[in-house]
Chain A
Amino acid sequence: MDADGASARALARSPAGAFRHGVVQSLPFLVVILPFATLFGVVATEAGLDIAQVLGFSVLVLAGASQFTAVQLLSDHAPTIIVILSALAVNLRMAMYSASLLPWLRDASAPQKAWVAYALIDQSYALSIQHYERHQALSVPQRLAYFAGTATVLCLPWIVFTWVGATVGQAIPEEIALDFAMPITFLAMIAPMLRTPAHLAACFVAIVAALAFAGLPSGLGLLIAAPLGMATGAVVEARAEGRGA
Chain B
Amino acid sequence: MQASDLQIWIVIVVLGIGTYLIRWSFLGALGDRDLPGWVLRMLRYTPVAVLPALVAPLVMWPAATGGAPDPARLAAATATVAVGVLTKNVMLAILAGGITLFGLLYVLG
User: Of residues 1 to 19 in B, which have CB atoms within 8 Å of A's CB atoms?
Assistant: 1-3, 5, 7-16, 18-19
Q: Is the CB of B12 within 8 A of A61?
A: yes
**Which one, B19, B57, B58, contacts A61 given CB within 8 A?**
B19
Q: How many residues of A contact B (CB 8 A)?
A: 94
A186-B54, A231-B42 given; A77·B2 CB < 8 A? yes
Contacts of B80 in A (CB 8 A): 184, 187-188, 191
Contacts of B107 in A (CB 8 A): none
Scoring B7, B20, B62, B77 by chain A CB atoms within 10 A of each residue's CB, the highest score goes to: B20
Chain A at the B interface: mostly helix, strand, loop or mixed?
Answer: helix
Q: Which stretch from A2-10, A12-20, A83-91, A132-140 is at the chain B interface? A: A83-91
Q: Is the CB of B55 within 8 A of A202?
A: no
**Which one, A39, A63, A92, A190, contacts B52 given CB within 8 A?**
A190
Chain B at the A interface: mostly helix, strand, loop or mixed?
Answer: helix
Q: Is the CB of A207 within 8 A of B53?
A: yes
Smallest distance from the beta carbon of B85 to chain A beta carbons, Å? 5
Query: Chain A 50-78, CB within 8 Å of chain B: the 1/0 string?
Result: 10010011001111011001101111010
20 contacts between A and B (CB under 8 A): A53-B12, A57-B12, A65-B51, A66-B15, A75-B3, A99-B26, A99-B35, A102-B26, A102-B27, A113-B28, A114-B24, A114-B28, A117-B23, A187-B84, A207-B52, A207-B53, A214-B57, A214-B61, A222-B50, A234-B41
